[in-house]
Amino acid sequence: MNKTSAIRKPISIGVLTTGIVLMVGALIIDITGIKFGARGAMLIIGLLAALYGLYHFPSQKYHRGIVYFIFLFPLVFAFAVTVIIPLVLGVGYSFTDWTGIKITKFVGLANYSSMFHDPAFLWSVLITFLFVILNIIMVNLIGFALALLCTSAIKGTGFFRAAYFLPNLIGGIVLGYIWQFVFNNVLIQMTKTSFLANTETAMLGIIIVYIWQYAGYIMLIYITGLTQVPKDVIEAASIDGANSKQVLFHVRIPLIMPTITICTFLTLTSAFKQFDVNMALTNGTGSVDGFLGGYLANGTQMLALNIYNTAISKNSYAVGQAKAVLFFIILAAVSLIQVRTMNSKEVEL
């Protein structure tokens, strides 16, 4: 070890140790509730000091790994703080009587039992699954059809691509209010009744808005897949006597199966998490009579909105958290099944 390294090592260790002490101290102050206004500054200074000391640690063997860790740390830290830690805490809260502020006792599976005895929740699960199935089919079919149109030889394909993608740039809440105006003030002139007046047509309205918003986004992904199909393969199929329909179903579609897998996955997860359009368009209202022998006033309330209303409107955070945990399990399981199924199709083709 040279003289410079001998000097740098204790300095870097000292800075690293100081940074760790500052971060731990700031966290202890925050957890214990001690009134100290500079705890945020302590945490930031401690973090920067720890990273600085780690970066300048004189180790030739591990220095490259340390540099990689420092550059990855912001992303990993943000992911842990916003996803991993809330997920773990949320699972724990679902077994307590958490009020959003404090916990007084452990209740076990009582929250889960409560939600399975709630007809409104079971109805929201049912209509969410129906919504997802319909939208996976419709969004992908329409998106693929638009992609075929926008990769054809017609003029103005750039304009059509931009026009079809534009609805995806509008926020869900704004989109919901725009279409609420259309349903209640424009279409009512033709149909004499609003689409949102009863549960069946209100759900149809939500599906229409979702397809209108998301089909253009899926179209762009399909366009990417279609443009990557080798032209010589298509030409060879045409020379062999295949017509346009045979080329589409036996050449182009099999070659873009990875793209179809991605689009199906994106549509699946997005449809399951539908919240903003549902809230802005109907806010879950709609009468349902006879479901599990009772009457429901929230006939268009899908799963994400049901969880929100349980926690916020009913001030039942623990039950809402239990529903959110179940929602996560359902979404993860369905997504894994879908990806594995589509991947097996890719191998077969």
Q: Collapse the DSSP code of 192 into the 3-class scheme (helix H, G, I; strand E, B; otherwise coil) and give the result.
A: coil
pLDDT on residue 76:
86
Note the pLDDT of residue 326.
Answer: 92
DSSP bridge partners of 240: none
Mean pLDDT check: name the lowest of 37-46, 141-150, 296-305, 308-317.
Answer: 37-46
One domain for residues 164 and 300: yes
**What's the CA gap between 309 and 295, in Å, rounded?**
18
What does pLDDT average to over the chain?
85
152 and 275 co-located in one domain: yes
**Which of 65, 88, 108 is the last residue before a domain boundary?**
108
For residues 143 and 151, the answer to whether their CB atoms sit within 8 Å is no
Cβ atoms within 10 Å, residue 2: 8
Considering the domain architecture, whether residues 72 and 172 belong to the same structural domain is answered as no
**CATH number of 311's domain:** 1.10.3720.10
H-assigned helices in 230-316: 231-239, 244-247, 253-255, 257-272, 276-281, 303-308
- Of the segments 185-189, 241-245, 300-304, which one has the largest average pLDDT value? 300-304
Position 346 scores a pLDDT of 62
Are 126 and 207 in a shared domain? yes
How many Å separate Cα 334 from the centre of its chain? 14
* Mean of pLDDT values over 31-40: 73
Residues 209 and 256 in one domain: yes
Residues 97 and 230 in one domain: no
* Residue 123 sits in the same domain as residue 206: yes
238: confidence class by pLDDT, cuts 50, 70, 90: confident
- Strand 294-296, strand 288-291: pairing: antiparallel
Lowest-confidence range among 97-106, 216-225, 260-269?
A: 97-106
Which uninterrupted H or E stretch holds 34? none
Distance (Å, whole) CA 334 – CA 284: 24
**How high is the pLDDT of residue 80?**
86
Query: Are residues 102 and 124 part of one domain?
Result: no
What pLDDT, in 10s, does the model give residues 53-65? 877 776 656 667 7
Residues 61 and 13 in one domain: yes
Tokens of 203: 């759900």
Please report the pLDDT score of residue 147 as a whole number: 93
**Residues 205 and 182: beta-carbon distance below 8 Å:** no
Give me the mean pLDDT over the 226-245 stretch. Answer: 87
Q: What span, in angstroms and rounded, lies between the C-alpha atoms of 216 and 12? A: 53
Q: Across residues 276-294, what is the average pLDDT?
A: 84
- pLDDT at residue 95 tops 90: yes
Residue 185 pLDDT class (50, 70, 90 cuts): confident
pLDDT higher than threshold 80 for residue 324: yes
Let me know if 293 is exposed, middle or buried by CB neighbors in 10 A (0-12, 13-18, 19+).
exposed
Tell me: do 139 and 103 sit in the same domain: no
51 with 78, same domain? Answer: yes
Could you read off the pLDDT of 122-142 as tens digits, one per residue? Answer: 999 999 999 999 999 999 999
Q: How many residues does the chain have?
A: 349
Indicate whether 82 and 126 sit together in one domain: no
% of the chain at pLDDT higher than 70: 93
The last residue of a domain, from among 59, 93, 108:
108
Q: Which of 80, 30, 79, 219 is nearest to 142 (CA)?
A: 219
Q: Which of the four pLDDT bands, split at 50, 70 and 90, describes residue 219?
A: very high
**Which residue, 108, 128, 162, sits at the end of a domain?**
108
Summarize pLDDT for 100-121 with one digit per residue, the tens.
888 888 998 999 999 998 899 9
Q: Hey, what are 78's tokens?
A: 């943000």
Sequence-distant (≥ 6) Cβ neighbours of residue 253 within 8 angstroms: 260
**pLDDT-based confidence at residue 42 (cuts at 50, 70, 90):** confident
Look at residue 197 in the predicted model and tell me its pLDDT: 78
pLDDT > 90: percent of the chain: 27
List C-alpha distances in Å: 325 to 148, 219, 304, 317, 319.
40, 32, 12, 12, 10
Query: Which tokens go with 246?
Result: 């045979």
Q: Which domain holds residue 76?
A: 3-108
Burial classification of residue 232, based on how many CB atoms lie within 10 Å of its CB (0-12 exposed, 13-18 middle, 19 or more buried): exposed
* Structural domains counted in the chain: 2
Q: Which residue has the higher pLDDT, 290 or 106?
A: 106
